[in-house]
Structure 1
């Protein structure tokens, strides 16, 4: 059970990964580059559902409460900027590239991504540890149902990306 005192801790404070960033990993760029929305490095799993009582009482970085989101389909992103909130990310296990998962960036996290255990299980067949993944922005249509439609407009990154066969920009 998570105490009310822990409610002040967002998803971002939960990941402390050893060492530095992996080669070819996400990296911080200058404002407007959005380099952390693409990456290739180990990602971690967190049981956001167990944190639900705390997340219902506080706002995550993007201004949402836990009860406003499908917690199985959200992620915390290293260095997430306010204008990236709501961006849909395609997350792929490089060993199973035909089975990506789609998550919404809603909070700042440790190195790379902090995925919910549900998404992590779908990608890697386990609910914990560190596993290598790649991620990139995806078409917002993959994010339907993560938050209610009326909240999508509150998230500047939700409709920011235009995607076609050559990628998202």
Structure 2
């Protein structure tokens, strides 16, 4: 199985196929709207705006597993993120990133890029950068600020422009 074999639904129930992002750099982030790290939405949006025309996709995966810090419904999460943080990058349906109901995308990512706690997601705003060839490139901790990802994003985007 590859990254491009995976899919998820957006908050409205429409499918998002990872194969649609073939040839693009994808930054996957488990997000929350009521977390001390929530201001990272602003930095993620800045990265998206700066690099989307060069092939970067930021994809937010709302998750309510950490102290119920993403209490919105699928129906309201997009509006909350847009109004409170100016988010224009795509969001998915709410998912689990740990436990028996872990979404297959996070099963795959945790297997390919284990973290300090092995295959467990430690907290909101864990980030995974996927290279344009679909290979998981790097995992970043929740406390890694979005602007600190820029060098790695530039590096994976080079492969698009050198192809």
**Could you say whether these structures have the same fold, taking a TM-score greater than 0.5 normalized by the shorter chain as the test?**
no
TM-score of the pair, normalised by structure 2: 0.30
* Structure having the larger proportion of residues in strand: 1
